[in-house]
Structure 1
């Protein structure tokens, strides 16, 4: 039996027990210890009689455990942050539906609200929005017809969306559904 095999047999179960005290998962603790022993085995020629191999083993396991725990803490923090963002988005959607005004006398009431909001848009902005959303023209086609750049069409659409969102904020979810304003 080699010196390394003897060292492994002597210290493996103690090293695993040590790692298990800090790592919640048995398999994670075992993987850490196996990784450290593999690292030691691959570099066994580099160690001489003056290196306290046992101290090196436990220091390596300690450091691997710390790395593992840092990773788990970070993962948990990210998961909590994502959960918090999800809950906030859910709350906003819930609140938005709660206050959604769906009390329109008829379809013409919806059209009146939309037309009033469209009339508040700047003329060029309104023209581009109507061509795109109501007439179904592509941005490139609008740019060619109006002899403007596609970037101008895009920026005018962004302005239209922003102003319509502000104007129609109380019934925006309904308009998103009905007219694909997004």
Structure 2
């Protein structure tokens, strides 16, 4: 179907005629591919917004059906590509989360705290803490074992909060390595 220029017809009227004639057909076409009725409607609305923004096209001799088909097809393709990327990303995140849960489950199942007495656990923690520098160990003990706030530690040791944060980061890294075989103990300490 070719649209002819009708000077007496206003752009709004021509646009309205095109909208009323093709909206439902275009929506049906889009829905066949994007499945969701809401997505299909949004895509078709976008096509008509673009057509309205380029009103001069309404006055041109062109194959309107070819234009609408090409535009709706391209918008559906873009929509499907985007959905696919989102879905693949969600799947990867879900897979990583599942792996993390499995590792946590395996770690807890494998850790038998009956194998360790309270003294054994204290020795393990003490050995791990001994790998830290004196400053780092002091800050870690004050924070995690004595339960002091960073501000209190900073005042008591006459150091900045930034130094405390840096030293705590170092402590976490080293303790993670030292207590890798005792992950539940490490996690418990870090949660204190």
TM tier, shorter chain?
A: 0.7 to 0.9
Secondary structure at the aligned position of 1:171 is classed as: helix
Pair 1:176–1:47, CA change in 2 (3 A): same
Superposed counterparts of 1:78-93, under 5 Å: 78-93=89-104
User: In structure 1, how many angstroms separate the alpha carbons of the residues matched to 2:23 and 2:158?
Assistant: 77
* RMSD of aligned Cα (Å): 2.9
Q: Deviations over 1:112-171 (max 9, x none)?
A: 222232233222222222222222222233233223333222222222222222222222
Pair 1:29–1:141, CA change in 2 (3 A): closer
Question: Would the aligned equivalents of 1:4 and 1:41 in 2 still touch at CA under 8 Å?
Answer: yes
Counterpart of 1:66 (choices 77, 84, 98) is: 77
Pair 1:33–1:119, CA change in 2 (3 A): closer
Pair 1:64–1:115, CA change in 2 (3 A): same
Mark the runs of 5 or more structure 2 residues left unpaired by the alignment: 1-8
Pair 1:180–1:51, CA change in 2 (3 A): same
1:148 counterpart = 2:148: no
Q: Which residue of 2 aligns with 1:33?
A: 44
Superposed counterparts of 1:8-157, under 5 Å: 8=19, 10-37=21-48, 39-40=50-51, 43-44=54-55, 46-157=57-168
Pair 1:143–1:31, CA change in 2 (3 A): closer
Mark the runs of 5 or more structure 1 residues left unpaired by the alignment: none
Question: Would the aligned equivalents of 1:131 and 1:142 in 2 still touch at CA under 8 Å?
Answer: yes
User: In structure 1, how many angstroms separate the alpha carbons of the residues matched to 2:126 and 2:54?
Assistant: 77
TM-score, length-normalised on structure 1? 0.78
User: In structure 2, how many angstroms separate the alpha carbons of the residues matched to 1:49 and 1:160?
Assistant: 71
User: In structure 1, how many angstroms separate the alpha carbons of the residues matched to 2:177 and 2:48?
Assistant: 63
Counterpart of 2:169 (choices 111, 136, 158) is: 158
Secondary structure at the aligned position of 1:148 is classed as: coil
